[in-house]
């Protein structure tokens, strides 16, 4: 009982942050300066480049991808990434650094970058459109930092060119790619099959 009461008292300042940050949620984050330490706080992702935090002392701070390597809200993991070019509905924009949700990991890491507008006057670091609001997938090897964007409006040729290097170890997936069976919308299922060494199942839910 004493442990339960202590937990409530510790969380009270974080829950009170809802008066400061709309939709604040309890979560955790890792600073680049302290990579071995996961800190607790009330979190609110204000935009693709801003994470608002109310820490255990009740202090309100704003953190950027340059300062935070990763953070968690509920069961969702977000990481800092960047260094990729977006086109089409995103405008011809280079994203230097931003937060993206990690959807899968293993030999290939799958991220989803979704620009979050901060309001009518400020919409993050890209030209915001309806297509941009749907987000874009990012692929990278577990041993590398460079990411490959895969946009929903890519042509079939562009999609195959972006995905092919990541499927080198799976001839079965490469054959499906060449047969034009694989689609951008099923990328989470494709990466899951790759990372878990299982057959690709387009009927599965991921």
Confidence at residue 195, expressed as pLDDT on a 0 to 100 scale: 97
Q: What is the pLDDT of residue 49?
A: 94
Q: Which pLDDT value is given to residue 157?
A: 94
- Helix (H), strand (E) at residue 79: strand 76-81
Phi-psi region of 185 (alpha: psi -120 to 50; beta: other; left: phi over 0): alpha
**φ, ψ (nearest 5 deg) of residue 70:** -165, 160
Which band of pLDDT confidence, cut at 50, 70 and 90, is reported for residue 21? low
DSSP code, position 204? S
CATH 2.30.30.100 spans which residues of the chain? 1-74
Question: Residue 184 corresponds to which tokens in the numbers above?
Answer: 């951008």
- The answer to whether 167 and 177 have CB atoms below 8 angstroms apart is yes
Residues whose CB is less than 8 angstroms from the CB of residue 70 and which lie 6 or more positions away in sequence, other chains included? 29, 30, 77, 78, 79, 80, 102
- Look at 85-89, 93-97, 170-174, 180-184 and tell me which has the smallest mean pLDDT: 85-89
pLDDT of residue 20 exceeding 50:
no
From the list 177, 136, 178, 180, the residue with the least C-alpha distance to 193 is 177
Residues 79-107 have a mean pLDDT of: 90
What pLDDT score was predicted for residue 26? 93
Burial class (CB in 10 A: 0-12, 13-18, 19+), 44: buried
Calpha distance 156→201 (Å, rounded): 20
Taking a C-beta distance cutoff of 8 angstroms, is the pair 115, 132 a contact?
yes
Q: How many residues does the chain have?
A: 206
pLDDT grade, residue 103 (50/70/90)? very high
Mean pLDDT in residue range 128-152: 82
pTM of the model: 0.81
**Domain 1-74 top-level CATH class:** mainly beta
User: Which pLDDT does position 48 carry in this prediction?
Assistant: 92
Beta-carbon-side half-sphere exposure of residue 136 (alpha carbons within 13 Å): 33
């Amino acid at each position: 009982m004493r442990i339960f009461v202590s937990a409530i008292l510790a969380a009270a300042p974080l829950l009170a942050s809802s008066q400061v940050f709309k939709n604040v949620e309890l979560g955790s984050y890792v600073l680049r300066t302290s990579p071995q330490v996961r800190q607790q706080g009330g979190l609110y992702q204000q935009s693709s480049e801003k994470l608002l935090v109310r820490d255990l002392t009740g202090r309100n701070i704003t953190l950027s991808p340059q300062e935070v390597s990763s953070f968690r809200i509920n069961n969702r993991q977000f990481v800092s990434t960047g260094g990729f070019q977006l086109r089409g509905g995103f405008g011809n924009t280079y994203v230097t650094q931003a937060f993206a949700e990690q959807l899968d990991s293993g030999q290939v890491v799958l991220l989803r970058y979704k620009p979050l507008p901060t309001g009518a006057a400020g919409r993050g670091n890209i030209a915001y459109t309806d297509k941009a609001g749907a987000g874009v997938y990012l692929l990278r090897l577990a041993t590398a930092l460079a990411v490959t964007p895969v946009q929903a409006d890519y042509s079939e040729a562009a999609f195959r060119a972006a995905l092919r290097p990541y499927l080198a170890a799976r001839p079965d997936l490469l054959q499906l790619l060449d047969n034009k069976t694989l689609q951008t919308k099923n990328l989470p299922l494709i990466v899951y099959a790759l990372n878990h060494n299982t057959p690709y199942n387009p009927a599965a839910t991921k």
